[in-house]
A and B are shown apart, each in its own frame.
Chain A
């Protein structure tokens, strides 16, 4: 049973470009979460999704950021027109119905 898979591991984008981060949850897990970690800080919740539904996006900036978890395929976190302040590690976690969360290895986004 493969763990949570995130790709790419590292992503470099120039200011103004788009970043797409992918997450495939563990088999049998129906919940996906995205968290952001700035250097020397803890993880901050961004968005919580189930298949084809956004359950809670209270931690996600209203502009430039969007997330989806389609019926088929991985969950995608999309950041449009990236700025230097978007540079961070983005972690995806998946969870079974009964709770707990298992994390992927993260995507480190660097905006230059």
Chain B
């Protein structure tokens, strides 16, 4: 079956760095996505990785290793507004997104 695993909840301190991991087993691979979702709101697109390596976008970076079925989202200089759930999703061989349950990130001052 298809499976996306990510931690349920993480806590970090304002100004610090946090890494949210995602492992996946899917039928085919056409890219891995990270979305941010604030409570009660829709997910918003953060990043897309289809090749191995690190993609940097401001304070956020995303890494992919296809051979290991592994990705992480790195958030630097954490701000209180970064408190949200972070969703990992993989596009399978049918170009459908398979979603993880999300990681709730709690930022403490």
Q: Do A and B come from one complex?
A: no
Give the B-binding residues of A (Cβ under 8 A): none
